[in-house]
Structure 1
Amino acid sequence: MQKYQAYRLAVAPMMDWTDRHCRVLHRTLSSRALLYTEMVTTGAVLHGDREKLLGFDQAEHPVALQLGGSDPAELAEAARIGEAWGYDEINLNVGCPSDRVQSGRFGACLMREPGLVADCMAAVGEAVKVPATVKCRIGVDDQEPEESLFTLVDLCARAGVRHFVVHARKAWLKGLSPKENRDIPPLDYPLVWRLKAERPELTIVINGGIGSLDEAEAHLRHVDGVMLGRAAYHTPGLLGEVDARIFGGGETVDAFEAVRRYRPYVERQLAAGTHLAAMTRHMLGLFHGVPGARAWRRTLTVEGVKPGAGIEVIDRALAEISGLQEQRLARGLEAGEAA
């Protein structure tokens, strides 16, 4: 993972979105970006169906496992299991503000217990050889971000953590929904930039509200890496430019090529009994801004959920896009000849 500095551009862990099928699609677009699992609780790892929770395709590397928990011993054991499954990084969630997460004493509420987070990370760091990292907010509720963020980072750094992903917003634990917590609290990018400037020995990745690669490149003048969330999910095509623009080498992959690369994976999963819609739901934004994108989404959405839906649904949706492009090209040529 360090060879390509994969943290320079990462796709955020997003509940119900960044499952294994989503990550394989994203990997068809960028060979270098760091991908993250959805958050998995320590209890689920220790007692649940590990193949369902932790299984992933080898094509996904580099890929990080995000854990949710607050018991150092349980986190250490879950981290050992994650490393044994082949994950390239173990990340602790100190940023999710949902009520369910708070009731389990993990996620953003841990910003109030930086000493406990440091103890957890010390245990994880001793348990695994892969990087042990933290994803946090700048604070919660009435905390002063300059104090809460720097205290958490400094205590974790003393425990051996060298890599932090910082969502540049506070989280309000009462009064705002998880969705509102992604938009309403104001962003404070300069505070995260300052964290890097004052702690140059640490790897600092910035997250929150970053919607384009132009914005990502601007942030990279101040920090080590950028993590994209909703922009990468809703308009995954932008990941096709990541290797060339952010990592300084590699090809640019368009949406058509991504579909071609994803297709064999879809066929394998269909043969294993996976429903088509479980995979195509992550493809809806692939042709964002392209003529025919609406027909693409409609075909995948309507046809993909039908019993027995197969690869032909993707082919049909792709044909609609291609047909519209050919029509536009033909009209352009005719207009040119008329001129």
Structure 2
Amino acid sequence: MLDWTDSNCRQFHRRLSQHALLYTEMVTSAALVRGGATHLLRFEPDEHPVALQLGGSDPTELAQATRMGADVGYDEINLNVGCPSDRVQSGCFGAVLMKTPELVGECLAAMKAASDVEVTVKCRIGVDDQHPEEALPALLDAARAAGIRRVTVHARKAWLQGLSPKENREIPPLDYDLVARMIAAYPELSISVNGGIATLDEAEALLARGFDGVMIGRAAYHTPLDVLGAADRRIFGTDRPDADPFEIAEDLTAIVEAHLARGGRLIGVTRHFLGLFAGMTGARFWRRALSEMPNGTADDYRALVAGLMERRAA
């Protein structure tokens, strides 16, 4: 979710669900430790629970980045061993690390020793010509030996040569059954599943199969109300009313104002809101209006919300 799940996005999603665990976009340990890019760690208190997702392959550097994340208050530090993008491969981290589970174990052990904050890992079932029945257990063995207790598995292989990152999210077949077999093989691990999950119905079905959790990425971004708006009631069993998109749109004014006060452009925050009314009457009006005022003001946004409320009343 590089360039997608920034702090503005997470604040929006938190208004839809109080309990879903939110993740940052992947931040490289090199950017934090050698590049001094500490601004990438910024988050707001109302984003909790929130996990920092790190990319890297140097145990010492990842340990230092973990300490930095823990010091600013993240609830979890996650090592990404699943991203197949070209810039990730060139840096020798992400999905390419599936080829070196021993190194992944060293990285995780170093991260775990660096702070008391929980360290987790997200991986694929394999890459390129690996056999998933061998590659996934090898990764899980390394994680378990490092003292890791929570793992999220994207239930697809990643082809590092020949497929684009987008194709790697769609073309390799899903193998939920393989991941499900890992639940029995590794009872001491909490195993969540990721990949191809677009609705709460699908999430509930996977949880019923015995998965400890479900991670949803792009569907939560593009249709956030459908995925997150009823999650507290349906997944977490609370009596919190399902999110009302009109009330959410009004509440988002505070995020808009804060973003503009930091010198940002309106489109830099409202781009995350485009899918709020997906599938509903008024969705096209909402998307078009947001897209047509990239350099607007907070007053412009308030006027849009006011117009939305008038359309609702009509």
TM class by smaller structure: over 0.9
Preserved contact between residue 295 and residue 320 of structure 1 (Cα < 8 Å): no
Q: 1:244 and 2:233 equivalent? A: yes
Give CA-to-partner distance per residue, 1:179-223, whole Å, 9 cap, x none: 100000000011111111222221111100100000000011120
Shift, 1:143, TM fit:
0.8
Secondary structure at the residue paired with 1:91? strand
Give CA-to-partner distance per residue, 1:135-166, whole Å, 9 cap, x none: 00000011111110011101210110101010
Aligned to 2:163: 176
Secondary structure at the residue paired with 2:292? helix
Q: 1:187 and 2:174 equivalent? A: yes
Aligned to 1:224: 212
Q: 1:43 and 2:13 equivalent? A: no
Paired residue type of 1:24 = Q
Distance 1:80 1:322 in 2: 45
In percent, how many aligned pairs have the same letter? 58
Paired residue type of 2:81 = V
Shift, 1:127, TM fit:
0.5
Aligned to 2:279: 289
Preserved contact between residue 125 and residue 132 of structure 2 (Cα < 8 Å): yes
Q: 1:311 and 2:298 equivalent? A: yes
Q: 1:262 and 2:249 equivalent? A: no
Secondary structure at the residue paired with 1:56? coil
Preserved contact between residue 233 and residue 282 of structure 1 (Cα < 8 Å): yes
Shift, 1:326, TM fit:
3.2
Deviates more, 1:310-319 or 1:209-218: 310-319
Distance 2:304 2:177 in 1: 43
Paired residue type of 2:183 = K
Shift, 1:324, TM fit:
3.5
Aligned to 1:233: 221
Runs of 4+ in 1 over 4 A off after TM superposition: none
Paired residue type of 1:36 = Y
Deviates more, 1:278-287 or 1:98-107: 98-107
Shift, 1:321, TM fit:
3.5
Preserved contact between residue 299 and residue 313 of structure 1 (Cα < 8 Å): no
Secondary structure at the residue paired with 2:78? strand
Distance 1:187 1:133 in 2: 22
Preserved contact between residue 292 and residue 320 of structure 1 (Cα < 8 Å): no
Secondary structure at the residue paired with 1:257? helix
Q: Name the count of aligned residue pairs.
A: 311
Preserved contact between residue 32 and residue 38 of structure 2 (Cα < 8 Å): no
Equivalent residues in 2 for 1:91-102, closer than 5 Å: 91-102=78-89
Q: 1:129 and 2:119 equivalent? A: no
Distance 1:254 1:196 in 2: 36
* 5+ residue gaps, structure 1: 1-13, 328-339
Paired residue type of 2:275 = G
Q: 1:110 and 2:110 equivalent? A: no
Preserved contact between residue 253 and residue 302 of structure 2 (Cα < 8 Å): no
Aligned to 1:8: none
Preserved contact between residue 76 and residue 117 of structure 2 (Cα < 8 Å): yes
Shift, 1:260, TM fit:
2.7
Aligned to 1:302: 292
Given the two structures, how large is their TM-score scaled by the length of structure 1? 0.89
Aligned to 2:58: 71
Equivalent residues in 2 for 1:313-332, closer than 5 Å: 313-327=300-314
Q: 1:28 and 2:28 equivalent? A: no
Q: 1:156 and 2:146 equivalent? A: no
Preserved contact between residue 291 and residue 324 of structure 1 (Cα < 8 Å): no
Preserved contact between residue 101 and residue 142 of structure 2 (Cα < 8 Å): yes
Distance 2:100 2:202 in 1: 32
Deviates more, 1:206-215 or 1:244-253: 244-253
Q: 1:120 and 2:110 equivalent? A: no
Aligned to 2:3: 16
Preserved contact between residue 246 and residue 309 of structure 2 (Cα < 8 Å): no
Paired residue type of 1:275 = R
CA gap of 1:195–1:107, structure 2 versus 1, over 3 A, is same
Shift, 1:49, TM fit:
4.5
Secondary structure at the residue paired with 2:311? helix
Give CA-to-partner distance per residue, 1:238-294, whole Å, 9 cap, x none: 211111110000331121122233222221222232221111000000001111110
Shift, 1:320, TM fit:
4.1
